[in-house]
Amino acid sequence: MPTTTRDDLAAFRAEVAEWCRTHIPADWRRAQTGVGDEEFVRFQKAWLHELRRAGFAVPHWPEEWGGGMSVARQIVLYQELARHDAPRLVLSFVSLHHAASTLLAAGTDEQRRRHLPAILDGEIWCQGFSEPEAGSDLAALKTTARREGDAFVVNGQKLWASGALHADWCLLLARTDPAAPKRRGISYFLMDMRSPGVEVRPIRQATGEAHFCEVFLDDVAVPAANLVGPENEGWRVAQETLGAERGMTMLELAERLGNGGFRWLVEQCARPGPDGTRPLDDPLVTDRLAALETELTGLRALCTDFVADDAPGPADASVVKLCYSELLQRLTDFATEATGLTAHTELRKPLSSGWESGAWVLDFIGSWEWTIPGGTSEIQRSIIGERGLGLPREPTGG
């Protein structure tokens, strides 16, 4: 890791803080509440452009592609963005992390030249991994890709594809050898979402949003040049994609939860209710807040250590993901309870915000999502037990 002195970091923190004060739209939360899809996409792309101009959009990418920031500086950057309540690049999350990390680790030079600059220009990606009958067992996927000349013909259905309605491209897993053991017959593709045979249907969620989508694939021709890594070795490539969910992104999310979400919760608990009393005057509330702050301090330290570690342990990423997702659930649950009726009347959340927008009922419902993608909490516990603690493998049955 490049050496960075304490003075360097202090100067960089001041630089980022000043940039935040002059570039974050003061009223973005109000302006992003209740907007339609078109305005949401426009705002997200404009915010990506602002971050790119400052050199803050892809600090985790290699220098030759516009990144190259030291881990120490990335930590400072995400701390300051959270502290100043910057919008999140929600729509570009898969593009900037999953797609980029996959292309950098396993893509061809042509694939990198084609897509990395386009992602910086606003190209949007989704992920076509989950399927209706595969559950958390990703290797049980049934979508097929059959080689025909210079293309693969894909048929099947994907589920829970975040942001697919707005996506230009898809990271797609499909089975190319049905006779092989289930993890060895899968290939990894880059699929143009405008290809004939691709149909996207949004799924209306309990929060009222339609963030998730179903993607139906009917004889979709994917050029063989869009294969990532060797044919039938997509499972290995997919681990690069999944790993992107658990690195610097977790540090950003932890900072936002501790630096923004918890601060808003304390501020709301300090406001008098209709009867003149404040939740903060209740000792039970202050005890819970103190306990949550302790957990948040631990989570932020855990994430910082994790991203700064050159050789993390085999279960460290699972520990971070498990701690974040379940703390998010507990904090939003308590916020809904502590803020009473107010929480139940705030039924619109600002788009472009994090998982802790301050619309606590919606945040609590949404928090359950985080315990599922990238491996459920049960799967994370199995990984921690087997790979981290060396316990016997869980029986698979049959």
CA distance 65 to 119: 11
- The answer to whether the CB of 210 falls within 8 A of the CB of 204 is yes
The alpha-carbon radius of gyration of the chain (Å, integer) is 22
Contacts of 265 (CB under 8 A, 6+ apart): 289, 292, 331, 334, 335, 338, 339
- Residue 251's nearest CA partner among 82, 94, 96 is 82
CA distances from 320 to 47, 55, 95, 245 (A): 28, 27, 22, 11
- The answer to whether the CB of 158 falls within 8 A of the CB of 83 is no
Q: What DSSP letter does each residue of 179-220 carry, written as one string?
A: TS-TTTSEEEEEEETTSTTEEEEE---TTS----EEEEEEEE
Catalytic one among 233, 245, 252, 346? 245
Alpha helices in the chain (DSSP H): 6-23, 28-31, 37-54, 71-83, 93, 100-106, 109-120, 234-243, 248-256, 262-269, 283-308, 316-338, 340-345, 360-370, 377-383
Q: Cα–chain-centroid distance for residue 131?
A: 19
**Is 240 annotated in the active site?**
no
Token pair recorded at residue 49:
């452009």
Report the SS3 class of residue 98.
Answer: helix
CA distances from 112 to 62, 116, 118 (A): 12, 6, 10
Token pair recorded at residue 370:
């985080």
Sign of CA dihedral 196, 201, 202, 205: negative
Instruction: Count the neighbouring beta carbons within 10 Å of the beta carbon of residue 50.
Output: 16
Name beta bridge partners: 148.
Answer: 151
Which residue type does 183 have?
R
Which residue type does 285 have?
V
Active site residues: 245
